Amino acid sequence: MKKLGILNSAIATVLAHMGHTDMITIADCGLPIPDTTQRIDLAVKKGLPSFLDVLDAVREDMVVEKITLAEEIKIYNAEMYNKIKNRFPNVVIQFISHEEFKVLTVQSKAVIRTGEASPYANIVLHSGVNF
């Protein structure tokens, strides 16, 4: 058994296969996931697991160069936006419309679906390098 890091085998595999600029999405329970993109469904029930719990686990195991958020999060979920921003103090934040965000998920290596039930609690993590 692994001692540290992500225990979920699907997430661990995706992270191990990621290279520079590859993307992975962490989503609330309502974001549509393209049929062509790997779905890692962690949602158990509304709120479980939370978006932030999953985000924290993934960011501890991944070099993040940039993040992408829907512009709407700043207005409709400012509390979540501030929590995300505080977790990535030295990372570039790109904002796009929610409609553009949904299109971008097609390029993600995977979308991790959480039980989060708050608006626009979705993020694309762009992989950096550790050297």
Distances (CA, A) of 107 to 25, 112, 125: 9, 14, 12
Does 77 show up as a binding residue in the annotation? no
Q: Which of 7, 9, 17, 20 is catalytic?
A: 20
| Structural domain range at position 74 | 22-31+64-109
Q: Let me know if residue 116 belongs to a domain.
A: no
Q: Let me know if residue 49 belongs to a domain.
A: no
pTM for the model stands at: 0.96
Q: Let me know if residue 114 belongs to a domain.
A: no
Q: What kind and span of H or E run contains 78?
A: helix 78-87
Cα–Cα distance for residue pair 21/76, rounded to 1 Å:
28
The one-letter amino acid code at 118 reads S
20 is catalytic: yes
Domain count of the fold of the chain: 1
Q: Let me know if residue 46 belongs to a domain.
A: no
pLDDT band with cut points at 50, 70 and 90 for residue 73: very high
Does 120 show up as a binding residue in the annotation? yes
Q: Residue 23 forms beta bridges with which residues?
A: 126
Cα–Cα distance for residue pair 115/50, rounded to 1 Å:
6
Which is nearest to 22 in space by CA: 127, 129, 130, 110? 127
Does 122 show up as a binding residue in the annotation? yes
Look at residue 93 in the predicted model and tell me its pLDDT.
98
Look at residue 16 in the predicted model and tell me its pLDDT.
96
